Amino acid sequence: MVVQAIQYSRFGDEEVLDLVNIKSDSLKVNQVRVEVYAVGLNPIDYKTFEGAKPLRFLSFMTKLRKPSHWFESKSSLFPRGIGRDFAGVITEVGEGVSRFAVGDKVFGTMISDPGLGTKRGALATEICVNESEIVLKPEMIDMNHAATMGVASLTVGGAFRKIELNSKDVVVISAAGGIGSIAVQYAVAKGATVIGIASKKNSDYLKSLGAIPVAYEENIQNALLSASAKPITKFLDCYGSDYVKLAFSLGLKGTAIGTLVPSPYVMIKGAQFTGPRHSTYDDLNTLAEMVSEGKVRLNIDQVYDFSLKSVREAYRSLKLGHTRGKKVVKVRK
Ligand SMILES: NC(=O)c1ccc[n+]([C@@H]2O[C@H](COP(=O)([O-])OP(=O)(O)OC[C@H]3O[C@@H](n4cnc5c(N)ncnc54)[C@H](OP(=O)(O)O)[C@@H]3O)[C@@H](O)[C@H]2O)c1
């Protein structure tokens, strides 16, 4: 069967992306075939197809841990697919699969070593994925919303595990995007007091998620110190290393500061570079349960068609860095 997929064969901006017809993959052990209905976009997607420097650094670190990767040439990894998060219906079950059956509606995320990426990509009409990368879709949400949960569930679950978030914490979370929106609600559901940082225009949005809003256009340090009667105990940065500096300036130890964005400063100062690397498979289910129980609301910023023009436009817009919640590509009409 012919599969339509977004692929690229060299690093660069969205113009390197192409919509191509490819052959169906054959199923490997422990894999299922999924007809894709929707794909949620993440900044890691464009950082990967652009060949961003921090990812090349992570790729180098991964090669130190897994020497077999030294023998991969750049060209052996092209053409590559793009996109990680998806929702769809299982159309075939491979040998060894025990948890899923044909017809199951699922969501998940394609997992790969940091920085290396893989040849696989979720932006396709059909994909083969490992059963450890999917869970059943909650009945009460549609495919578009389900496609927003993969990376976010593993990132938030992993990050809060690493910084040991608990109900007594007062946690600062930067950003109202795909990860920040979920992190805020997740921490509120865990009983923590949450202070959210975003632009002024997102203050009401952050309040609606359960956070005390602080606008980054103001003197953030003063605003943070006066936001809560109780002292700040944890910080999760979903934006970049200036927030890690800010977290240290609030008197927090490196073990109490998590960041999703790696940098030499973060490593040297002993803050925690975290996210999916500290996740477990159950984190996918935990977010699905929270959504089913109404504890977490999934916010879609915009839905795009599965055409080359729309996908390029979606990434161009995501790169501007002001997405509220998630951008989704509707693959199946
Ligand atoms: N470690 C990992 O494995 C991992 C996993 C997931 C994500 N990440 C990384 O984490 C980052 C966030 O991901 P995401 O999906 O949430 O991105 P995103 O959806 O693109 O984030 C957009 C949000 O960032 C906010 N923002 C922009 N400038 C800001 C500033 N100066 N201070 C605070 N917030 C600001 C925007 O709010 P305003 O519109 O109000 O400015 C917007 O809501 C990305 O760099 C991503 O690559 C890493």
Position 12 pLDDT exceeds 80: yes
| 187 has a pLDDT exceeding 80 | yes
Give yes or no for residue 53 having a pLDDT over 90.
no
Report the candidate in 235, 276, 5, 237 with the shortest Cα–Cα distance to residue 122: 5
What span, in angstroms and rounded, lies between the C-alpha atoms of 209 and 269? 31
199 Cα nearest atom in ligand 1: 40
Q: Can you tell me which atom of ligand 1 is nearest the CA of 152? A: 6
Instruction: Give residue 74's pLDDT.
Output: 58
pLDDT in tens, 174-184: 988 999 999 99
Instruction: Output the average pLDDT for the chain.
Output: 93
119 vs 193, more confident: 193
With 0-12 CB in 10 A as exposed, 13-18 as middle and 19+ as buried, what is 191? exposed
* Ligand 1, pocket residues at CB < 6 Å: 42-44, 47, 151, 155, 174-180, 197-199, 202, 216, 238-239, 260-261, 275-276, 318, 321-324
Structure tokens at 258: 């998590």
Radius of gyration of the chain (CA): 20
34 CB-near residues (< 8 Å, 6+ apart): 86, 88, 89, 90, 91, 106, 126, 127, 128, 129, 134
- The whole-number pLDDT of residue 102 equals 98
Q: Which residue has the higher pLDDT, 64 or 133?
A: 133
Reported as a single tens digit per residue, the pLDDT across 56-79 is 777 777 777 777 766 665 556 789
Return the amino acid letter for 109: T
pLDDT at residue 52, as a whole number: 78
pLDDT for the residue 271: 97
Of ligand 1's listed atoms, the one at least distance from the Cα of 324 is 43
Q: For residue range 73-122, list pLDDT tens digits in order.
A: 555 678 999 999 999 999 999 999 999 999 999 999 999 866 655 788 99
For ligand 1, atom 9: residue with the closest CA: 260
Tokens of 155: 């990132």
Beta-strand pair 272-273/257-259:
parallel
Percent of the chain past pLDDT 90, that is, above it, reads 85
Burial class (CB in 10 A: 0-12, 13-18, 19+), 76: exposed
Write out pLDDT tens, residues 155-164: 999 999 999 9
Instruction: Give the pLDDT confidence score for residue 331 in this predicted structure.
Output: 98
At 1, is the pLDDT very low, low, confident or very high (cuts 50, 70, 90)? confident
Under the banding of pLDDT at 50, 70 and 90, the label for residue 298 is very high
| pLDDT at residue 73 in the model | 58
pLDDT in tens, 210-251: 999 999 999 999 999 999 999 999 999 999 879 999 999 999
How does strand 272-273 pair with strand 300-305? unpaired
Protein residue closest via CA to atom 4 of ligand 1: 260
